[in-house]
Chains A and B, each alone.
Chain A
Amino acid sequence: MSATVLSAGIAGSRSRAAPAWPVGWIAAVAWFGIAALIMVWPDADDLGRTPLLAAVATGFGGVILLLALLSTSPRLAPRLEPFRAAGPWLLVLALALGAWELVTAKLDLLPRPFFVAPQSLLEVFTDDWPRLSDSVWNSLLLVLPGYALGAAIGFLFGIAMGWSRLVGYWAHPVVRLIGPLPATAWLPIAFFAFSSSHGASTFLIALASFFPVTVLTWSGVSSVSKAYYDVARTMGASPWFLVRKVAVPAAMPSVFVGLFMGLGASFSVLVVAEMMGVKSGLGWYMQWAQGWAAYANMYAALLVMALMCSGAVTLLFYLRDRLLSWQKGLVRW
């Protein structure tokens, strides 16, 4: 046993001995080159924040250079493995930024205001961040409780449908008929039923996550192998035990697919719901920016939205990996 560990350690250190990271060096140089291009080549039009963009690009290059330097140390190299894996992306991102900068700010090839230079996007973050962060906060306040509510009710309802023949009999046709409708189709009813636009939006977001979570929990519970129930029953399990300790854990992989789908649905409803009557939020911000033809602001809000949604999915997948570590071969996000 100890011999195996020892030889594995030796093999490991040997593979660490040559930590050349050519892509890293090239990526760092590329970022520096792009920074120089941004700074030296005059903009075709009067744009703000060009020096800042160049500084950001230089900073990126500097960080990558530092990582490349650090990864020559055999002790640090294993910890820097994730960055090394991202090497090609770091390089391509630099090239993409350069191309974007060329066709917008430097050569003015793409029609404005629909296409925006990178520094203009940066300007939104530096100049309008109070309003933008306020919108992010208000969107989160709307989407998270709505999503959690819809997911919780959907989970319980799905279990009831999968477990009880009576509930399944009555709920199945209703869910099948109503479920595929876009949640936003309920807008008039939502506004009628709820006095505040906040309540109506929460209801729509909850509805959007409710349907996929319900359906996938239900299908997860009803596809649990009968043998699992037989085993537990012969050992004296009560029906309540069968639900909690057999049906629910066995259905969890399917439930997480529902939670994932519900998350996407909730975010897309968020934008629509916020365009109707709320005074702050990313959807509202996008609507407002579009009204003023401030496309840079709109793209900035879109970017933030994408990061938010992706962050939420990452969190969900992290949670799933923790809870479902008993499964093998999980999809990675």
Chain B
Amino acid sequence: MVNGARLEVRGVSHAFTLEKRLLPVLEAIDFTAEPGEFVALLGPSGCGKSTLLRLAAGLEPPTTGQLLVDGAEISGTDPSRTIMFQDPTLFPWRTVRGNAQLGPEARGTLRADAGRIDEVLSLVGLASFADALPHQLSGGMAQRAALARALVNQPRLLMLDEPLGKLDSLTRLAMQKELVALWEREGFTALLVTHDVEEALLLADRVLVLSDRPARIRADIRVGQPRPRRRDDPGLVALREEILGLLGMAEAA
């Protein structure tokens, strides 16, 4: 059990240069994720949610504004802040175990972390597939392997970039449960990007509803329902309607 990190996002705006034109993707984003909190970033596709994760991971610096972890400004990548992408992006030339040990190998702590690698592989249910190659895995198993690779580093902030977006609906339901269980067990702060309202409500403590590009925070919704949650819980159904209304899809509710 690690302590989750506190992530502060202060007045962050970000823009890309695309064919010599400035394309703003994030505008004045301000929020704080408390240690151990599960925050969902919900918004339409292509609104800039993933960019926010890349900034928090330290893969890119923001155009303006500040991102702080436990009060210190983020200046680069760090294994305590890992990101899990929509595609598993497993290295195809490495086995499941070889992929999972990527972080310790890169930092030269392979021997010290051997136990952790085994632990995480069985945690995601891949202990008996440790020697399988990525092309032998199903979509759900590949995403589990990617999750194991992230968790091995004992992240204090785990960023999930639509990690279940490409899975079939049954696998998706199973993995939503597993994600919550892992989050409760490991104690990290979770930042989940999704465009699935139901998924956000099932998993998160808080849902930040983002607008179309450039993304702004439209609403900060606290989900108080105790876990395990049921998707037909009346409180969740009401929140779902509220959020769909904010996204301009009220009739779809």
Residues of A within 8 A of B103 (CB): 235-236
- The CA of A243 and the CA of B40, in the complex, are separated in Å by 35
Contact in complex: A238, B106 (CB < 8 Å):
yes
Contact in complex: A249, B82 (CB < 8 Å):
no
Residues of chain B having any CB pair with chain A under 8 Å: 54, 57-59, 77-79, 81-83, 85, 87, 89, 91-94, 102-103, 105-107, 133-135, 149, 153
Instruction: Report 12 cross-chain contacts, Cβ distance below 8 Å, ordered by A residue.
Output: A230-B85, A231-B102, A232-B106, A234-B57, A234-B77, A234-B78, A234-B81, A245-B106, A250-B93, A252-B93, A326-B92, A328-B135
- The residue of chain A having its C-beta at the shortest distance from the C-beta of B86 within the complex is A227
A236 touching B89 in the complex, CB below 8 Å, given contacts A245-B105, A326-B133: no
- The CA of A264 and the CA of B58, in the complex, are separated in Å by 47
Instruction: Write out, one digit per residue, whether chain A residues 319-332 have a CB within 8 A of any chain B CB (1) or not (0).
Output: 00000101110000
- The CA of A324 and the CA of B102, in the complex, are separated in Å by 19
Residues of B within 8 A of A252 (CB): 93
- The CA of A166 and the CA of B224, in the complex, are separated in Å by 55
Contact in complex: B85, A237 (CB < 8 Å):
no
A29 is an interface residue with CB less than 8 A from chain B = no
Shortest Cβ distance from residue B191 to the other chain A in the assembled complex, whole angstroms: 13
Residues of B within 8 A of A328 (CB): 135
Residues of A within 8 A of B57 (CB): 234
Residues of B within 8 A of A324 (CB): 93
Shortest Cβ distance from residue A325 to the other chain B in the assembled complex, whole angstroms: 8
A129 is an interface residue with CB less than 8 A from chain B = no
Residue from B77, B89, B106, B107 having most chain A Cβ neighbours under 10 A: B106
Q: CB < 8 Å: which of B79, B94, B134, B135 contacts A235?
A: B79
Residues of B within 8 A of A249 (CB): 91, 93-94
Residues of B within 8 A of A250 (CB): 91, 93
- The CA of A232 and the CA of B98, in the complex, are separated in Å by 13
Residue from B79, B87, B102 having most chain A Cβ neighbours under 10 A: B102
A233 is an interface residue with CB less than 8 A from chain B = yes
- The CA of A236 and the CA of B105, in the complex, are separated in Å by 9
Residues of A within 8 A of B79 (CB): 234-236
Tell me the count of chain A residues lying within 8 A, CB to CB, of chain B. Answer: 22
Shortest Cβ distance from residue B239 to the other chain A in the assembled complex, whole angstroms: 32
Residues of B within 8 A of A225 (CB): 89
- The residue of chain B having its C-beta at the shortest distance from the C-beta of A241 within the complex is B106
Shortest Cβ distance from residue B102 to the other chain A in the assembled complex, whole angstroms: 6
- The CA of A219 and the CA of B71, in the complex, are separated in Å by 43
A236 touching B133 in the complex, CB below 8 Å, given contacts A245-B105, A246-B91, A327-B92: no
A89 is an interface residue with CB less than 8 A from chain B = no
Residues of A within 8 A of B102 (CB): 231-232, 235, 237
A228 is an interface residue with CB less than 8 A from chain B = yes
Q: Across chains A and B, which 8 residue pairs bring their CB atoms closest together, nearest first?
A: A235-B103, A237-B106, A236-B79, A326-B93, A227-B89, A249-B93, A236-B107, A234-B77
Given contacts A230-B83, A234-B82, A326-B135, 10 further A-B contacts (CB under 8 A): A228-B91, A232-B102, A235-B79, A235-B107, A236-B79, A241-B106, A249-B93, A326-B92, A326-B133, A328-B135
Shortest Cβ distance from residue A297 to the other chain B in the assembled complex, whole angstroms: 47
- The CA of A228 and the CA of B102, in the complex, are separated in Å by 11
A230 touching B59 in the complex, CB below 8 Å, given contacts A235-B82, A236-B78: yes
- The CA of A238 and the CA of B93, in the complex, are separated in Å by 20
- The residue of chain A having its C-beta at the shortest distance from the C-beta of B109 within the complex is A236
Shortest Cβ distance from residue A253 to the other chain B in the assembled complex, whole angstroms: 9
- The CA of A227 and the CA of B81, in the complex, are separated in Å by 16
Contact in complex: B89, A235 (CB < 8 Å):
no
Contact in complex: B89, A228 (CB < 8 Å):
yes
Contact in complex: B89, A231 (CB < 8 Å):
yes
Shortest Cβ distance from residue A333 to the other chain B in the assembled complex, whole angstroms: 21
- The residue of chain B having its C-beta at the shortest distance from the C-beta of A231 within the complex is B89
Instruction: Write out, one digit per residue, whether chain A residues 149-170 have a CB within 8 A of any chain B CB (1) or not (0).
Output: 0000000000000000000000
Residues of B within 8 A of A236 (CB): 77-79, 103, 106-107, 153
- The residue of chain B having its C-beta at the shortest distance from the C-beta of A252 within the complex is B93
- The CA of A232 and the CA of B93, in the complex, are separated in Å by 14
Residues of B within 8 A of A241 (CB): 105-106
Q: Which residues 216-263 in A have Cβ within 8 Å of B in the complex?
A: 225, 227-228, 230-238, 241, 245-246, 249-250, 252
- The residue of chain A having its C-beta at the shortest distance from the C-beta of B59 within the complex is A230
Residue from A230, A238, A324 having most chain B Cβ neighbours under 10 A: A230
Residues of A within 8 A of B149 (CB): 231, 235
Shortest Cβ distance from residue A239 to the other chain B in the assembled complex, whole angstroms: 11
Shortest Cβ distance from residue A111 to the other chain B in the assembled complex, whole angstroms: 56
- The residue of chain B having its C-beta at the shortest distance from the C-beta of A253 within the complex is B93
Q: CB < 8 Å: which of A228, A234, A246, A327 contacts B83?
A: A234
Q: CB < 8 Å: which of B78, B82, B87, B133 contacts A227?
A: B87
Residues of B within 8 A of A234 (CB): 57-59, 77-79, 81-83
Contact in complex: B85, A233 (CB < 8 Å):
no
Instruction: Write out, one digit per residue, whether chain A residues 47-68 have a CB within 8 A of any chain B CB (1) or not (0).
Output: 0000000000000000000000
- The CA of A228 and the CA of B87, in the complex, are separated in Å by 11
Contact in complex: A227, B92 (CB < 8 Å):
no
